[in-house]
Amino acid sequence: MSSSASPRPFVYDGDRLVCSGVDVAALADEFGTPLYVYSADAVRERVAMIANGFAGVDHTICYAVKANSALGLLKRLGALGCGFDIVSGGELERVRRAAPEAVSRVVFSGVGKQAWEMDAALEAGILQFNVESEAELELLAERAQALGKTARVALRVNPDVFAETHPYISTGMSEHKFGIAIARARQVYARAAQLEGIEPTGVSVHIGSQIRSVEPFAAALQRVRELVEELRKDGINLRNVDAGGGFGIEYGTAAFDPAASVQQYAKALRSVLEGFDAHLLLEPGRFIIAQAGALVTRVLYTKQNGAKRFVIADAAMNDLIRPALYKAHHEIVPVLLDASRPASKADIVGPVCESGDFFAQDRETAELRSGDLVALLDAGAYGMSLASHYNTRVHPAEVLIEDGKTVLIRRRETLDDLFVAELY
């Protein structure tokens, strides 16, 4: 496997897995396991792909912080000129600490913004609030007036567009909790235009995550364009069109050309925006970081229970919950190849006391033995950001490979770290 043929920075150099040229086994020996490994080079490449796809279009890439909120990653994305899509006051604080120069490029999404979060974002001077309900709009107006600020807002409209993805990450249908019905949007914008402390600046839409077809994105954006044109006739001159995120990747072994996929996505959106004067906001997360990262884990034990073989690793569902939560697929590859190993089918599981603590079921790999290192690929998105301390387990370390050098961006937690906030 060569790096030029792979959409991932994790490739084999002889019989050793490397990430952007750095030996993964050596990283595991130095930093221990479980260990998250990311390639900053791959992240830069993905950002450049999106920028190239939308060259000539007035746009801002607002990275979705929820995908992976590591400060070391946000710092580098801010330096690349990215803005950020946030969904909490905590994520705002992460951007403020890691990339303060990018706060003015922040859009604040989410259905349950609290008053203190609104206050923090107003004081910070973010680009835009993506408002998801009429009650939220009223509270935002109150907070803006109290602080003597103006809140720039877009309504997140629900276009009722079906996108084929996991039901937990589909967000654009009328039965979902997100957004405001597009049919009601003109009335809500009229109210927003009357509210002191509110400045309508855009429209936002987000139909879901891990969507591989470009047609739903184009259909949703077409409805948004029509809405903006109607609102402009009403005298509400909106500038920003937030197309959301959700463009997917390939988690399996099927061919995937990320650059070509971005071009198809960009072509679909460009066709809708042709002749339309607006500033386009894009909110990619998974596409930028998922394939740039892997979770490296060491096999603790193997066992046979009846007809079932189990491979028990030192990583668990608290480190990477996607397989347990979504039945998500992650390729699992040995860090060191051994051609003498026969193929073997097993459940690859963690130590957590739940039957749902698995990374793969009945997965065929080269036979895995105690002490072996394996990498769970495409784990850069929704890995650490969904991690927990379940079973009082510490978080893994995170390292970033940048220009051939290894940067520790999160040390491994200690047990003492877990008890800092507790009183007894």
297, 302, 304, 305: CA torsion to nearest 10: -50
Nearest CA-CA partner of 397 in 388, 386, 384: 384
Identify the CATH class of 3-32+292-418. Answer: mainly beta
The alpha helices in 368-419, defined as continuous H runs, are 415-418
- pLDDT at position 161, please? 73
Please check if 36 is assigned to a binding site: no
- Tell me, what amino acid is at 177? K
* Regions of the chain short of the pLDDT cut 70: 1-5, 162-178
Long-range own/partner contacts, residues 414-420 (CB < 8 A, 24 or more apart): 418/389, 418/392, 418/394
Nearest CA-CA partner of 216 in 277, 171, 162: 162
- pLDDT at position 326, please? 87
Please check if 286 is assigned to a binding site: yes
Element (H, E) at 203: strand 198-204
SS3 string, 95-110, reads HHHHCHHHHHHEEECC
Spatial CB neighbours of 256, under 8 Å, sequence gap ≥ 6 = 7, 249, 250
What secondary structure letter does DSSP report for 250? -
Across the strands, what pairs with 407? Answer: 400
Please check if 189 is assigned to a binding site: no
- Tell me, what amino acid is at 48? A
- pLDDT at position 202, please? 97
Spatial CB neighbours of 109, under 8 Å, sequence gap ≥ 6 = 85, 86, 87, 130, 132, 156, 204, 206, 283
Please check if 285 is assigned to a binding site: yes
353 in catalytic set? yes
- pLDDT at position 164, please? 52
Nearest CA-CA partner of 208 in 219, 196, 194, 192: 219
The alpha helices in 35-133, defined as continuous H runs, are 40-53, 71-79, 89-98, 115-124
pLDDT tens, residue by residue, 24-43: 999 999 999 999 999 999 99
Rounded to whole angstroms, the Cα distance separating 206 from 179 reads 9
- pLDDT at position 173, please? 44
- pLDDT at position 162, please? 58
DSSP 3-state assignment of 375? Answer: strand
Spatial CB neighbours of 377, under 8 Å, sequence gap ≥ 6 = 8, 10, 291, 294, 330, 331, 332, 333
> One of 19, 62, 82, 353 is an active-site residue; which one?
353
Rounded to whole angstroms, the Cα distance separating 415 from 394 reads 7
Q: What percent of the chain is helix, strand and coil (3-state, nearest 5)?
A: 35, 25, 40
> How long a stretch of residues is the chain?
424
What secondary structure letter does DSSP report for 115? H
For 248-284, b/e burial (b = at least 16 CB within 10 A) is bbbbeeeebebeebbeebbebbeebbeeeebbbbbbb
pTM of structure? 0.94
Across the strands, what pairs with 180? Answer: 157
Query: What is the residue extent of each domain of the chain?
Result: 3-32+292-418, 40-286
Please check if 326 is assigned to a binding site: yes
| Backbone torsions φ then ψ of 292, nearest 5 degrees | -80, -10
Please check if 265 is assigned to a binding site: no
Nearest CA-CA partner of 153 in 187, 202, 88, 116: 202
| Backbone torsions φ then ψ of 46, nearest 5 degrees | -70, -40
Interhelix angle 258-273/40-53, nearest 10 degrees: 30
Considering the four listed CATH numbers 2.40.50.100, 3.20.20.10, 3.30.70.370, 3.30.420.40, the one that applies to the domain covering 40-286 is: 3.20.20.10
113, 248, 385, 118: CA torsion to nearest 10: -20
C-alpha distance from residue 208 to each of 217, 299, 383 (Å): 10, 35, 18
Q: Please say whether the beta carbons of 287 and 266 come within 8 A.
A: no
